[in-house]
Amino acid sequence: MDWAKNSFVSLFLIILMAHIAGCSTLPGDNSNNTPDLPSDPSPENPNSPSDPTAVVFTPVGEVIADSLIDVEFLPGQNGHSLVISKTGNVYYLDENFSVVGTPFFISTKQDHEEKGLLNVVADPLYAANNLVYFYYTDPDDNPDRNLVERYRVNVDIPGNTFNLLDPQLILDFNKSGSADENNGGALMFMTQNELAIGVGDGGDTPQLALNVDSPLGKVHRVIPNRTTGAGGFTDPGNGVSNVTTSVYSVGLQNAFSIVVDGDGDLFVGDVSQDTYEEVNCVYYSGENYHWPTCEGPCSLDSVNPIHGYAFNDGNFDPDFILGQPKFIILSAYYLGDQYGGAFTDKIIYNELNDGFVRVISLNQFEQVTTDAHIGNLPGLTGLHENPVDGLLYGVSLSDSNRILRMDLAP
């Protein structure tokens, strides 16, 4: 998917192994280690009318910068957060969303169309180790590279200083060329130790998404090294490739967003080319979503998106714009108890370009039972729960230079 086409301004072959998180399967004989799933992964028409629980997005805190792309609350820090810009700046924010010190600039990123500093995630053990991880694109002539790096946060609130120390390379995904699109960028801890990473097909050679030894067009799962002065990762035993041991699932085009439920089950938002935006649930290690052979529901095997929307479905949402490129974002799997419980244990997702924001409910087999429109915010790249108030916060690439809080509409 080409962000240039999006015009922001106008805008993851092997069995399930022990201790690998996977989406729930139907009960029954699973002796051949394949998921026992319904033939149709979701109801024929789960769409429902606009939910009466509508939301709005309220700017909070001070003006930070343009091109904000992600915010991450730091565990054990009473609402302190990091926010990043696509252009490479990292800002430390206090509990009032005010900037502490001066921004740290990750100078080896490249901000151009779909390239740049794309995601930040805090280590689940941040309160003890102060570690954070970044995903960004680095131009290296030909090919470009997508990298995951680890830093240690050094901040002095009374002294108003902030810095990132001890940069360490965790993973390096060489692209097959220097195309601007399909870099992926998802980062999400599945468990306390296991980091999931969504990597795009790179745009030049989409067939690499089906090659288990290529890092492109995959979801990777690693245990990142947390040792000072050392990078890399420990192989958690994905068993998909002996060459690229981090590969967890294959056949994805542009895994830009990942969310995880309370059981560690993984959901991937796969941005497509020009047919169908996908919500995929990772049932087990080694799943193949068949891009570029298929886009959307596929008859090749039982692994299909659990949900999504077609480019030509003008009736999907009241804010759906026919003819405009699509870019799905899985914003949050909300586990909090705010918003009157309306969104608890549900997936909130949105369309980056058209702006519509929707919420889906799942049954115990990860089938979508309802899907409702709740709001609109073009450029929304994700939502994160603030541990202080339990509300969801995010940023928009196109609509704000401040942090945005999701509130119930008055």
* Helical ranges in 80-176 per DSSP H: 126-129
**Reported pTM:** 0.89
Residue 40 lies in a domain: no
Under 8 Å between Cβ of 252 and 295: no
**What is the rounded distance in angstroms from the CA atom of residue 81 to the CA atom of residue 97?**
8
**Coil, strand or helix: which one is 127?**
helix
Helix (H) or strand (E) holding 3: helix 3-6
**Coil, strand or helix: which one is 111?**
coil
The span from the first CA to the last CA of the chain, in angstroms, equals: 36
Starting at the edge strand that comes first in sequence, how are the strands of the sheet with 131-138 ordered?
A: 117-122, 131-138, 145-156, 161-174
Give the amino acid at 275. Answer: T
**Coil, strand or helix: which one is 128?**
helix
Closest CA relative to residue 201, chosen from 272, 275, 305: 272
Q: Mean per-residue pLDDT for 158-163?
A: 98
**What is the rounded distance in angstroms from the CA atom of residue 198 to the CA atom of residue 222?**
12
| Beta bridge partners of residue 72, listed in sequence order | 82
Domain count for the chain: 1
Instruction: Calculate the alpha carbon distances from 374 to 50, 362, 406 in Å.
Output: 6, 17, 11
**What is the rounded distance in angstroms from the CA atom of residue 124 to the CA atom of residue 130?**
10
**Coil, strand or helix: which one is 380?**
strand
Range of the domain at 300: 3-22+46-408
Q: How many CA atoms within 13 Å lie on the side-chain side of 2?
A: 8
Instruction: Calculate the alpha carbon distances from 305 to 38, 211, 294 in Å.
Output: 13, 20, 11
Mode of pairing for the β-strands spanning 255-260 and 266-270? antiparallel
Mean pLDDT of the chain: 87
Q: How many CA atoms within 13 Å lie on the side-chain side of 182?
A: 32
Residue 227 lies in a domain: yes
**What is the rounded distance in angstroms from the CA atom of residue 243 to the CA atom of residue 6?**
35
Check residue 355 and give left, alpha or beta (phi > 0: left; psi -120 to 50: alpha).
left
Under 8 Å between Cβ of 138 and 109: yes
Q: What percent of the chain has pLDDT over 90?
A: 73
Residue 342 lies in a domain: yes
* Helical ranges in 123-222 per DSSP H: 126-129
Confidence of residue 33 (pLDDT cuts 50, 70, 90): very low
**Residues, the chain:** 410
The per-residue pLDDT for range 93-103, each reduced to its tens digit, is 999 999 999 99
Q: Mean per-residue pLDDT for 55-69?
A: 96
Confidence of residue 249 (pLDDT cuts 50, 70, 90): very high
The per-residue pLDDT for range 288-317, each reduced to its tens digit, is 999 999 999 988 776 899 999 999 999 999
For residue 17, the model assigns a pLDDT of 34
For residue 170, the model assigns a pLDDT of 97
Under 8 Å between Cβ of 328 and 271: yes
CATH number, domain of 277, equals 2.120.10.30
Closest CA relative to residue 352, chosen from 118, 47, 73: 118
> In 204-213, which positions are buried (b, 16+ CB within 10 angstroms) versus exposed (e)?
bbbebbbbbe
Give the amino acid at 152. Answer: R
Helix (H) or strand (E) holding 218: strand 218-224
- Residue 155 clears pLDDT 50, i.e. is over it: yes
| Beta bridge partners of residue 122, listed in sequence order | 132
Report which DSSP code applies to 232: -
Closest CA relative to residue 352, chosen from 332, 310, 312, 382: 382
- Residue 82 clears pLDDT 90, i.e. is over it: yes
Which structure tokens are listed for 44? 């024929």
Residue 299 burial (CB < 10 Å; 0-12/13-18/19+)? exposed
Residue 32 lies in a domain: no
- Which residue spans within 318-376 are E strands per DSSP? 328-334, 346-351, 356-362, 368-376
- Residue 9 clears pLDDT 70, i.e. is over it: no
Residue 50 lies in a domain: yes
Residue holding tokens 């690229």?
244
Residue 225 CA, chain-centre distance (Å), reads: 21
Instruction: Calculate the alpha carbon distances from 92 to 87, 101, 262, 284 in Å.
Output: 16, 8, 27, 36
Q: Mean per-residue pLDDT for 113-133?
A: 96
Residue 37 lies in a domain: no
